[in-house]
Chains A and B, each alone.
Chain A
Amino acid sequence: MTILIFSLLIWLSSFGAGLIGALTGLGGGVVIVPILTSVFGVDIRYAIGASLVSVIATSLGAASIYIKQGYTNLRLGMFLEVATTFGAVVGAIIATFVSVKFLTIILAIVLIYSAYIAQKPKLENCENTTVETPLAEYLQLNSAYPTADGLVNYQVYSIPLGFGVMMLAGVLSGLLGIGSGGFKVLAMDQIMRLPFKVSTTTSNFMIGVTASASAGVYLTRGYIDPGLSMAVILGVLPGAFLGAKILLGAKTQTLRIVFSVVLMVMALKMIYNNVLA
């Protein structure tokens, strides 16, 4: 296949991945890596490199919109970035030592977990307790976010545990070239008990920096191929923007269930190819 045709096919798939990633809230990365490796047969290291840079691009574009809307908790994001960037550098360095087989299996496990997260209904944390959260107070993390009924205050709980899970999310991001949105949601929704809109937008805000931390390592190690990355970035970015536009009026429950089945199938195929075959 010539580079021109291959690039066009990659561009189309990346556009689709960006669109679905935005509609399901998982991001394009978790879709594009398995597509590149299992559909196009691209080496997983090139796939990770290309996915990472496209993840940065979509995160920056979307973050800009969410910040202006007032959902993103900038201070919380900056605080947790300490964990994710450190994790991301560690993950990217681990990735250059371990085997392709190991990477693929870890990716398959993350896909299965993402499939589980994707079909789960979102929970809207907005309980207002009067529990003291000294660390959150000290770091000025408690904030308010806009809802239909006006501003709603929220508190940030279990910061040390959330920080730990964020570091794991960073390691996975660096290791696999994904935004690891699923694990960030685990940390922010389940552990730190943030409102859904705050956790998704703040996670998106952090993904740019996290991915940037591991992309630097990949760039210097020669994993970022300009030809492949170009097609992926230019596809995922408009796809994600279109997805974000559609999302405003769409019911995504069915899509998320279909998508989680697709992720599960891709994961099982990867495990089959790498372990059983």
Chain B
Amino acid sequence: MYKINSGFRWSLTTSADSQVFLLPVNQQDIDFVLSGTMDQQEKVALTSREKKFANLIANFLIIGVLLASSTVLFGGIFYLLNQGGGLAEYHIFREISAELRSPITIVAAALSGSAQGIIQLGILLLIAIPIMRVLISSLTFLVRGEFVYIVITSLVISSLTYSLFGAYK
């Protein structure tokens, strides 16, 4: 690494007839060599505070989606084992039974061991992850005192909360 690095600088300085003109280019090249791979260079894009925030969000999302989809898979296997022999009638629209429609009753149904309840719990988790992501962002902006973004994230949270809890007829 050191060898390549010094060689690079050396060749650039010898070829630099017009030092002033080439300076920004040189600086960029050296930065590229110092930072090594593209991956590392990309990380330079974000200041360390923004980077930490971005990583927090990214990790939260991937863990969340894995948790939710394994819940759906688990419930799905049970569902197919129990009710797989029944007739598929998705062409007729009937509202889903009331216990599978609101957050609190879904949790209760899943705890009672209903296969459909477990799938619905996984779906509920899936819907909840983006909401929690916005909450995390909102708290981060609160800690930093970024007023505009506290307002922005709060507006998003209110739409989402209304959708999940307030949209009953």
Contact = CB atoms under 8 A, between A and B. Distances in A.
B129 A226 contact: no
A18 B62 CA distance: 18
5 closest A-B pairs by beta carbon, nearest first, are: A216-B163, A222-B95, A4-B84, A216-B164, A6-B88
A228 B156 CA distance: 29
A70 B61 contact: no
Interface string A11-43: 000000000000000000000000000001111
Contacts of A78: 134, 137, 149, 152-153, 156
A3 B85 contact: yes
B83 A3 contact: yes
Given A7-B84, A70-B45, A150-B28, A43 B90 contact: yes
A64 interface: yes
B91 A150 contact: no
Interface of B: 28, 31-32, 38, 41-46, 50, 53-55, 57-59, 61-62, 64-65, 68-69, 72-73, 75-76, 79-80, 83-88, 90-93, 95-98, 100-102, 116-117, 119-120, 122-124, 126-131, 133-134, 137, 148-149, 152-153, 155-156, 159-160, 162-165, 167-169
Contacts of A222: 95-98, 100-101
A247 interface: no
Contacts of B131: 209, 212
A72 B159 CA distance: 23
A82 B73 contact: no
B160 to A, nearest CB: 5
Nearest to B88: A6
Interface stretch (A126-134, A139-147, A188-196, A269-277): A139-147
A178 B156 CA distance: 19
Interface string A225-244: 11111110110010000000
Contacts of B61: 60-61, 63-64, 67, 208
Contacts of A42: 90-91
Contacts of A209: 130-131, 133-134, 156, 160
A139 B127 CA distance: 28
A85 B153 CA distance: 11
B80 A7 contact: yes
Contact of A67 (B58, B117, B165): B58
Interface residues of A, number: 71
A21 B62 CA distance: 20
A1 to B, nearest CB: 5
Q: Is the interface of B mostly helix, strand, loop or mixed?
A: helix
Given A214-B163, A220-B164, A85 B156 contact: yes
A262 to B, nearest CB: 23
B76 to A, nearest CB: 4
Contacts of B84: 2-4, 7
24 contacts: A3-B86, A3-B88, A41-B90, A43-B91, A57-B69, A60-B64, A64-B65, A70-B43, A74-B53, A78-B137, A78-B153, A81-B134, A85-B163, A144-B45, A209-B131, A209-B134, A212-B126, A212-B128, A215-B126, A215-B163, A217-B167, A220-B167, A224-B123, A231-B76
A61 B58 CA distance: 9
Contacts of B162: 89
Nearest to A46: B90
B70 to A, nearest CB: 10
A113 interface: no
Contacts of B64: 60
A86 B163 CA distance: 10
A81 B102 CA distance: 24
Task: Point out which of A61, A219, A228 has the most chain B C-beta atoms below 10 A from its C-beta.
Answer: A219
Given A1-B87, A227-B116, A146 B38 contact: yes
A41 B91 contact: yes
Contact of A139 (B32, B68, B69, B148): B148
A69 interface: yes
Contacts of B128: 212
